[in-house]
Amino acid sequence: MTGDVSHMRTALTRAGRTIRPTSSAPPIRQVLADRRDLVAAARQRAQSPLTTLRHYAVTSPGKLILILVILALACLTAGLYASNTLEKRTQTLQEMIDRTEPLAEASQVLYSSLSIADAAANSAFISGGLESPELRTRYSDALATASSSLITAAGTTHDLADSESATVQRESNTDLRTLAINIPAYSGLIETARTNNRLGNPVGSSYLGQASTMMQDKILPAAQRLYERRSRSIADPQSTLTVPPWGVYAALIVLIVGLVATSRYLQRRTRRRFNIGVLAALIAVIVGTVWLLASGLMSVAATNNARIDGADPLRDLTSARIMTQQARSAETLSLVRRGDQDDLDRTFTDATTNIGRTLDQLGKDRDDSSAVSAGQLYNANYVLARWKELDAQVRSQMSSGNFARARVMTVGDGPNSTAQAYGDLDRALVDTITTTRLSFRDDINTAQRVLGYTGTGILLLTLFAGVAVIVGLIPRIREYR
């Protein structure tokens, strides 16, 4: 074939068909290059799952799947966090009732019983010769009570090892060891002093002085330190429990905001007013939040009442009873140790003054809802004033050299004896301590009962919310298939 040969064919033949290019069609080379680019891009996306996932996430079904996963995990996380936090609070309240408070009470009884035993031993020695059965019984009962309280304190210490620091635990063990070693030694010295006193041997007063020194310098300080630590073990958890669980509230509020935002998003995308699953989840979480708000605030209020009407006055009244025993020991020792009257007088005066201040402060702090009644405080103040008045008469007799009369007024059982006034004050304080302790335990029990099932309930509600979100969003995702 001859003639002019064009540099470009006017027709392309492919698969038996003739394709005539138009003026707007791209060149064949451009078409092939674009095809190669598309194939390369497809291969690259197939080789990179993250890239594929990123591209899929910006699509409508991808966004719905992402929302579903985030909300389901948020429901599960919020439920577990709320359940764990509230369960810890419930366990702390239960432990306070079952172990911490009884241990603090045992420590208080331990100190008071030891002081009562020391005062009774001094009174028996002052009476001369064979002591009265009442004093003997009082000493024996007090020492037995102290030994029983020591066993309780030592037996419960191991249970509280997890809640106490290593230093506090070590110090408590040291004080318990001091008490366990020295109480039998003190008892032995008292029996030796009693035997020599019955025989009329002057050496009896030396044994009694040695026993009293051991009690005042070793035994009572160890018992007081033990009680102070046990008292702090009640106060420290209470300071935490009186604060609402703000973290749980924040988690539930964030979950509510997320569910509301999801509902608004679905409303715009699907043109449906409500999504049944998301709406059910939102209602469940709101119910859990309201439940927590009611039970949490009631529990905090009950714990706060336990602190204000129970733990705080209980600690003050226990300190007042401890000072009562100190004052009585100083009063009885003044008839044994006639050479250091000034120091013993000062101890008695300081102790009774502090008792009066404590009772006055309790009277100022109380209100109509307080567990301690005005009558109880008035009775304690009255017998305290009576005791101070009689003690002044005893010291007047001692100053004039009438030690026989002073002894009768100190250890006698008449209405005008300091022993009677001291006993009345101790009974008044014990009655008030019992009242405040019962109030404390009632409030803590109330806080524990109110909060008891809240954590489990919120966990179940959030799990239901997570399932409802999944059930509600899956049909919307399937619409894009």
Residue whose C-alpha is closest to residue 152's, from 115, 106, 113, 183: 106
pLDDT digits (tens, 9 = 90+) for 380-406: 999 999 999 998 888 888 888 787 788
How is residue 225 written in tokens?
Answer: 């330190």
pLDDT digits (tens, 9 = 90+) for 66-113: 888 899 999 999 999 999 999 888 888 888 888 888 888 888 888 888
| Predicted local confidence at residue 192, as pLDDT | 87
- Which residues, listed in sequence order, are joined to residue 13 by a DSSP beta bridge? 18
Angle, CA 140 vertex, CA 137 and CA 145 arms, to 5°: 120
Alpha-carbon gap, residue 413 to 135, rounded angstroms? 10
Alpha-carbon gap, residue 224 to 230, rounded angstroms? 10
pLDDT digits (tens, 9 = 90+) for 281-290: 999 999 999 9
Euclidean distance between the first and the last CA atom of the chain, given in angstroms as a whole number? 59
For 472, residues 6+ apart whose C-beta sits below 8 A from its C-beta are 275, 276, 277, 278, 279, 280, 281
| Predicted local confidence at residue 381, as pLDDT | 92
| Predicted local confidence at residue 463, as pLDDT | 94
| Predicted local confidence at residue 1, as pLDDT | 43
pLDDT digits (tens, 9 = 90+) for 213-249: 888 888 988 888 888 888 777 776 777 777 888 899 9
Q: Which residues of 72-99 are buried (b: 16+ CB within 10 A; e: fewer)?
A: bebbeebbbbbbebbbebbebbebbeee
Whole-prediction pTM: 0.73
Contact status, residue 335 vs residue 124, Cβ threshold 8 Å: no
**DSSP state letter for 14:** E
pLDDT category of residue 340 using cuts at 50, 70 and 90: low
The letter for the amino acid at 252 is: L
Q: Does the pLDDT at position 429 exceed 70?
A: yes
| Predicted local confidence at residue 3, as pLDDT | 47
The letter for the amino acid at 64 is: L
pLDDT digits (tens, 9 = 90+) for 169-222: 788 888 888 898 999 999 898 888 888 877 777 777 778 878 888 888 889 888
Q: Does the pLDDT at position 56 exceed 80?
A: no
Question: Could you give the percent of the chain with pLDDT greater than 90?
Answer: 17
Q: Residue 105 burial by CB count (10 A; 0-12/13-18/19+): exposed, middle or buried?
A: buried
Domain boundaries, the chain: 71-321+339-468
Contact status, residue 115 vs residue 329, Cβ threshold 8 Å: yes
Helices and strands in the chain: count of H runs, count of E runs:
16, 2
Contact status, residue 93 vs residue 451, Cβ threshold 8 Å: yes
Element (H, E) at 19: strand 17-19
Q: Residue 127 burial by CB count (10 A; 0-12/13-18/19+): exposed, middle or buried?
A: middle
Tokens 């006034």 belong to 421
CA 75 to centroid of chain Cα atoms: 28
**Considering the chain, what is the average pLDDT of its residues?**
80
- Residue 315 CB-half CA count within 13 A: 16
Question: Who wins on pLDDT, 300 or 238?
Answer: 300
Across 249-276, average pLDDT = 86
In total, the chain counts a number of residues equal to 481
- Which residues, listed in sequence order, are joined to residue 298 by a DSSP beta bridge? none
244 sits in the region (left: phi over 0; alpha: psi -120 to 50; else beta) called beta
Alpha-carbon gap, residue 152 to 176, rounded angstroms? 11
How is residue 374 written in tokens?
Answer: 């005005």
Across 151-166, average pLDDT = 60
Q: Does the pLDDT at position 424 exceed 50?
A: yes
Q: Does the pLDDT at position 409 exceed 80?
A: yes
Alpha-carbon gap, residue 411 to 139, rounded angstroms? 13
For 328, residues 6+ apart whose C-beta sits below 8 A from its C-beta are 115, 119, 422
How is residue 431 written in tokens?
Answer: 């009655």
Alpha-carbon gap, residue 211 to 188, rounded angstroms? 9
Tokens 């899929």 belong to 56
132 sits in the region (left: phi over 0; alpha: psi -120 to 50; else beta) called beta
Q: Does the pLDDT at position 291 exceed 90?
A: yes
Element (H, E) at 359: helix 341-365
- Which residues, listed in sequence order, are joined to residue 12 by a DSSP beta bridge? 19
Q: Does the pLDDT at position 375 exceed 70?
A: yes
